[in-house]
């Protein structure tokens, strides 16, 4: 199984500042045939289901503010939230979809306002 490890487990950032969440996979998520990274990011607010933010490691979903951006390749990925807003308080998860046998999620990173 591919293990997804996020860091930090929690962080507090001031309004208007930048939040950076890391996700590391135990094996490369880059498929050489199409040069795509099989990684998605989700946001989960209290009492709600996860909401898809990004897929293919950096493709932002329609309607997601452009202050959310994804980067990275291979085994190391980053979700960056610029100009942090109060409504961004949530738990963020990465998920790999490399191959079809088993998709796993990171343990989550809790983002709070400082």
Name every residue whose Cβ is closer than 8 Å to that of residue 109 and which is 6 or more positions away in sequence: 6, 7, 8, 9, 10, 11, 21, 91, 92, 93
Question: Any contact of residue 45 with another protein (CB under 8 A)?
Answer: no
Q: Which of 30, 38, 72, 92 binds another protein (CB under 8 A)?
A: 38
Segment interacting with another protein, rule: CB under 8 A, options 15-23, 66-74, 82-90, 102-110: 102-110
Question: Any contact of residue 55 with another protein (CB under 8 A)?
Answer: yes
Cα distance between residue 82 and residue 69, in whole Å: 8
Asked if residues 72 and 57 have their Cβ atoms less than 8 Å apart, the reply is yes
**Closest separation between CB of residue 91 and another protein, Å?**
10
**Closest separation between CB of residue 86 and another protein, Å?**
23
The vertex-84 CA angle with 80 and 88, nearest 5°, equals 85
Backbone angles phi, psi at 87, to 5 degrees: -75, -5
Closer to another protein by CB, 84 or 106: give it. Answer: 106
Q: Which residues bind another protein (CB under 8 A)?
A: 31, 33-34, 36, 38, 40, 42, 48-52, 55, 61, 93, 95, 97-108
């Amino acid at each position: 199984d591919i293990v997804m490890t996020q860091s930090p487990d929690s962080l507090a950032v001031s309004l208007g500042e930048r939040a950076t969440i890391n996700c590391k996979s135990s094996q490369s998520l880059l498929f050489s045939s199409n040069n795509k990274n099989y990684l998605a990011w989700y946001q989960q607010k209290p009492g709600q289901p996860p909401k898809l933010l990004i897929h293919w490691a950096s493709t932002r979903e329609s309607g997601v503010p452009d202050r959310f951006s994804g980067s990275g390749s291979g085994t190391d990925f980053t979700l960056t939230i610029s100009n942090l807003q109060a409504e961004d308080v949530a738990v963020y998860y990465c998920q790999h979809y490399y191959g079809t046998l088993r998709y796993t999620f990171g343990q989550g990173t809790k983002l709070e306002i400082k």
